[in-house]
């Protein structure tokens, strides 16, 4: 299983998410490249997928059967919503938003709903 990192900026209890044009609502996540550490992969994925730079990465846990390292990213001021062009898969436009506590999770794939449950347990 290829190790992956799920990168979660938060605003209070709200979680940064995006709408993928082909695959529904998601969190920032990607492959950890060979020789790359978790924090470096988290910074790279956040920059590639959201156009954001992390000031700090905090390791929060691991979901072993998915091979996902869960990290919180501390970022500077971020808009309420925005779109970012990601060059992966030939270029896709991701629409970012803050997923609030109690908001409907049904637009997320089951693996991301599982990650959301994990994040909601963080301090």
| Beta-strand pair 68-75/4-11 | parallel
- For the residues 7-25, what does the mean pLDDT come to? 97
- How many domains does one find in the chain? 1
Q: What is the CATH number of the domain that holds 19?
A: 3.90.79.10
Domain of residue 24, residue span:
4-120
- What are the phi and psi torsion angles at 64 (to 5°)? -55, -45
State the residue for tokens 């954001």. Answer: 52
Give the separation between CA 38 and CA 35, rounded to whole angstroms.
Answer: 10
Give the separation between CA 37 and CA 96, rounded to whole angstroms.
Answer: 26
- Beta-carbon contacts of residue 15 (< 8 Å; ≥ 6 apart): 8, 9, 27, 98, 99, 116, 119
Q: What is the pTM of this model?
A: 0.96
Q: What is the pLDDT of residues 48-99, one digit of tens each?
A: 999 999 999 999 999 999 999 999 999 999 999 999 999 987 899 999 999 9
């Amino acid at each position: 299983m290829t190790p992956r990192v799920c990168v979660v900026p938060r605003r209070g209890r709200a979680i940064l998410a995006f709408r993928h044009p082909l695959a529904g609502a998601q969190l920032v996540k990607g492959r950890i490249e060979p020789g790359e550490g978790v924090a470096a992969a988290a910074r790279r994925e956040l920059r590639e997928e959201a156009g954001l730079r992390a000031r700090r990465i905090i390791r929060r846990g691991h979901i072993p059967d998915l091979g996902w390292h869960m990290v919180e990213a501390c970022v500077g001021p971020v808009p309420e919503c925005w779109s970012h062009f990601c060059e992966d898969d030939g270029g896709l436009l991701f629409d970012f938003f803050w997923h609030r506590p109690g908001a409907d999770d049904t637009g997320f794939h089951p693996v991301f709903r599982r990650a959301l449950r994990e994040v909601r347990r963080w301090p």
